[in-house]
Amino acid sequence: MIPVSGFEERTVAVLGLGRSGLSAARALREGGASVLVWDDNAGARETAEAEGFECRELARAGGFEGVDWLVVSPGIPHLYPAPNPVIAAAWVAGVPVDNDIGLFFRSLASAGSDWDMYDSPPRVVAVTGSNGKSTTSALIHHILHSTGRDSQLAGNIGRGVLDIDPPGDGGIVVLELSSYQTDLARALTPDVAVFTNLSPDHLDRHGGMGGYFAAKRRLFAEGGPDRCVIGVDEDEGLYLANQLSEAATDDRVIRVSSGTKLGGPGWLVYARKGFLTEWRKGRQVASIDLRSIKGLPGAHNHQNACAAYAACRALGVAPRQIEAAFLSFEGLPHRSQIVAEADGVTFVNDSKATNVDAAVKALQAFKNIRWICGGLMKEGGLSGLAPGLPNVTKAYVIGREAATFALGLPGVEAEICTDMATAVAKARAEAQPGDVVLLAPAAASFDQYDSFEKRGEDFAEKVRAGL
């Protein structure tokens, strides 16, 4: 645990008692704060009370009396589509609002009281973006661990950020950060910051695309990281890289791309035709063949590989060490995960493809696809799927909006299956050797499942049950 510093003998309220909320409450108490908590869920309050925390209904009159700070869990809206009543009450009371990520950055250095004695001070790598955050973060952690470095993975993946151990001499903390986390944190000071890409997502939460990008941009603008790894395949990435660099030769910014051969005198990492290439100061430094790496299939994973490679190079890891670690990376569950192979048919679980951009990248990674798709559709429609549809042999549509979803797939043979069991059974029965049965929903899961993980687990279970 990293005890939260700066709140000794002060009163801090915590709103939301899920994983990050309870973790923050414990770390605050460990650091000497007096902690009040609240969650609308009675069961969550009972759990907190069993640990000795006092519950207070913060939205009621006088709820913020004596409170110095409010810490909010990331899933709770603080501005759009409407402020949570507790957060609105904190504003009126003049109580600063923060989250566990802000607490982490303001407390990390004080948690390592022996840093002056370290040969190498600990460092933090923070990864954000629309798609690929989890794979990129996990891949960075895997590379560091494989090369003998002390690494911990936390944030939106792995452990809660305040649950990790204070890093030791030369230790590295790898954080995956969502826009919900970067938007509200009052301290953001990573040593290396990574921006993977940007596509429409969570627009209701951020008041549109501009607000969504602004939330991501805070990671780079607030703390001034020593090195920035920026995906430049979208205009927002090009803009961000330009804003952060002082000249074309400024190697504090590493530009990365998948599919585009980058040029110029700066520090560049790109993947093209299955090969990752690093250029620096106008000359090629290294090249890695990504085509045979089973844990990183497709152009979208090649983009993740470029971002992870660049971050690790910024930390001083040698290219051949990174290449060896790539070969042993097995990928993450629900992200282009091969769950079975039978009779020449490959079954792939990409349930994390909850938006159109992620789904089209999955579709472009394979050929002869029996595509299981559908769910709770997001803003923006399905027109962005067009580049991946030529690889689809047939679509098997699930979800409560299955009929509407199928209408958004022009030129694709689509069968309305509604539920996962029917879709898997039909796709398996019709698949031929060389086909890929791919779950890449292009939609959220909440019409039928509690999470994309549950949806992916159901797909894998149905596939394995039929073998």
Q: What is the pLDDT of residues 253-300, one digit of tens each?
A: 999 999 899 999 999 999 999 999 999 999 999 999 999 898 898 888
Percent of the chain that is helix, strand, coil (3-state, to 5):
35, 20, 40
Residue among 256, 194, 255, 198 at smallest CA distance from 226:
194
Q: How many domains does the chain have?
A: 3
Does 135 belong to an annotated binding site? yes
Q: Please say whether the beta carbons of 362 and 385 come within 8 A.
A: no
- Radius of gyration (C-alpha) of the chain in whole angstroms: 23
How far apart CA 278 and CA 286 sit, in angstroms, is: 5
Counting residues of the chain whose pLDDT is more than 70, the rounded percentage is 99
426 is in an annotated binding site: no
Question: Would you call 43 helix, strand, or coil by DSSP?
Answer: helix
Same domain? For 50 and 20 the reply is yes
Cβ–Cβ < 8 Å for 447, 376: yes
- 171 is an annotated ligand-binding site residue: no
* 258 found inside a domain: yes
- Is the bond leading into 81 cis (omega within 30 degrees of zero)? yes
Percent of the chain predicted with pLDDT > 90: 85
Could you tell me if 312 and 171 lie in one domain? yes
User: Does the annotation flag 346 for ligand binding?
Assistant: no
Task: Give the whole-angstrom CA distance, residue 322 versus residue 212.
Answer: 32
Winning range, highest mean pLDDT, from 216-225, 354-363, 376-385, 415-424: 415-424
pLDDT band at 115; cut points 50, 70, 90: confident
- In a domain, residue 105? The reply is no
The pLDDT, as a whole number, for residue 113 is 59
170 in a known ligand binding site = no
The boundaries of the domain holding residue 75 are 11-98
User: Residue 338 is encoded by which pair of tokens?
Assistant: 């091969």
Same domain, 154 and 211: yes
CA separation, residue 15 to residues 53, 74, 99 (Å): 12, 10, 10
Give residue 331's pLDDT: 82
Cα torsion through 39, 45, 51, 55, rounded to 10: 70
The rounded distance, in Å, linking the Cα atoms of 287 and 275 is 7
pLDDT at 104 over 90: yes
The answer to the question of residue 268 being in a domain is: yes
Write phi, then psi, for 126 (nearest 5 degrees): -115, 130
148 labelled binding-site residue: no
Q: What is the CATH number of the domain that holds 453?
A: 3.90.190.20
Pairing of strands 267-272, 275-280: antiparallel
For the entire predicted model, the pTM comes to 0.85
Decide if 351 is inside a domain. yes
Write the DSSP assignment of 224-242 as a string of letters.
--SEEEEE-SSHHHHHHHH
Verify that 377 and 322 share a domain, yes or no. no
- Does residue 278 share a domain with residue 174? yes
Q: Is 131 annotated as a binding residue?
A: yes
CATH classification at residue 286? 3.40.1190.10
